[in-house]
Amino acid sequence: MKKFLLLVVMLLTMNFSACGVDKPAQNDSDKIKIVTTIFPAYDWTREIIGDETNFDLTLLGGTGVDLHSFQPSAQDIMKISTCDVLICVGGESDDRISDALKQSTNKNLVVVKLLDVLGDKILTENHDGHVENDEHVWLSLKNAQILCEKISDVLIKADPSHEKIFRTNVAAYNEKLAALDEKYRETISAAPVKTILFGDRFPFRYLCDDYGLKYFAAFAGCSAETEASFETIKFLADKVDELKLPCVLTIEGTNHKIAETIIANTAGKSQKILVLDSMQSVADGNYLSTMTKNLEVLREALSK
């Protein structure tokens, strides 16, 4: 009888193990591979996916890589050529990944180009007679909501079984984007100053257009220039004095030399230098937290 009971216990134990108590983790090769070329798209996609584990999400080049100086490595090219979904800006900055796309081994690869999604909402800029699309579309909270909806649709097509989860996640995230958008509108509407001045490149045209801000800048958004002429410095310094601006703005990752020179040429020479994060290179935080910090910077920049 004891031997019989022992046998029953052993069989039951084996049966529970076979029923998936120690179910093995999903093989990475079975996951849906998504590659993004910019941090905002990576962060949006991460928010929409939520806790689902059947995706392998990669930010090309990793965090901390500047959009304008990025050159894909052999490993990056491999990721692009074998992914299922590629989310990219879709402008001239993506020319460097065009060869990798040609080498793609996935005939069903889905490429999401942010500029194509936004269509006639795209702004242009003129570089010495050459008109280019302004690629910094992620710096508009309104654009972000449209792009998140598109990413959600793509995820649903890739994994229809989790449609409800993706729709719930994107709706919740877009509510947060809309709430922050309203905070921007209220803050800028109430601000005594309506102009910002950049001693740097200027990738914030979408943001300024959204809230009716005027701006002056040393260079256009994607300019490769690093030195401003004396005429440019003098013009910007005079504008600071004329408009009584409390600060000069720059973007992240620069040495702020031009901003310092502008301030040195103003009458008061006492303006602060403030930094707005363009998320062309992001190492910490997330999209919402970065845009929230940018709002606080603008609040100070538009004060008297």
Q: What is the mean pLDDT of residues 22-50?
A: 83
CB-neighbour burial class of residue 271 (10 A; exposed 0-12, middle 13-18, buried 19+): buried
Under DSSP, is residue 144 helix (H, G, I), strand (E, B) or coil? helix
Three-state DSSP state, 59: strand
Is the Cβ–Cβ distance between 105 and 81 less than 8 Å? yes
What pLDDT is recorded for position 126?
Answer: 77
Q: Which of 66-75, 146-155, 283-292 has the lowest mean pLDDT?
A: 66-75
Residue 227 CA: distances (Å) to CA of 149, 233, 256, 259, 281: 40, 10, 11, 11, 21
For residue 94, give both structure tokens: 């993506």
The answer to whether residue 127 scores a pLDDT higher than 60 is: yes
Find the mean pLDDT for residues 112-130: 90
Of 122, 118, 137, 147, the closest CA to residue 45 belongs to: 147
pLDDT > 60? residue 77: yes
What letter does residue 24 receive in the DSSP assignment? Answer: P
pLDDT digits (tens, 9 = 90+) for 248-266: 999 988 689 999 999 999 9
- Over the stretch 209-251, which tens digit does the pLDDT of each residue have? 999 999 999 987 666 667 899 999 999 999 999 999 999 999 9
Which domains can be identified in the chain, with CATH numbers? 30-179 (3.40.50.1980), 191-301 (3.40.50.1980)
Q: Which of 2-11, 136-145, 193-202, 260-269 has the lowest mean pLDDT?
A: 2-11
Question: 185 burial class (0-12, 13-18, 19+ CB within 10 angstroms)?
Answer: middle
Q: Could you tell me the two tokens for 88? A: 């990219």
The first and second tokens of residue 114, run together, are 């942010």
- pLDDT-based confidence at 24, cuts 50/70/90? very low
> What would the mean pLDDT of 146-152 be, rounded to a whole number?
98
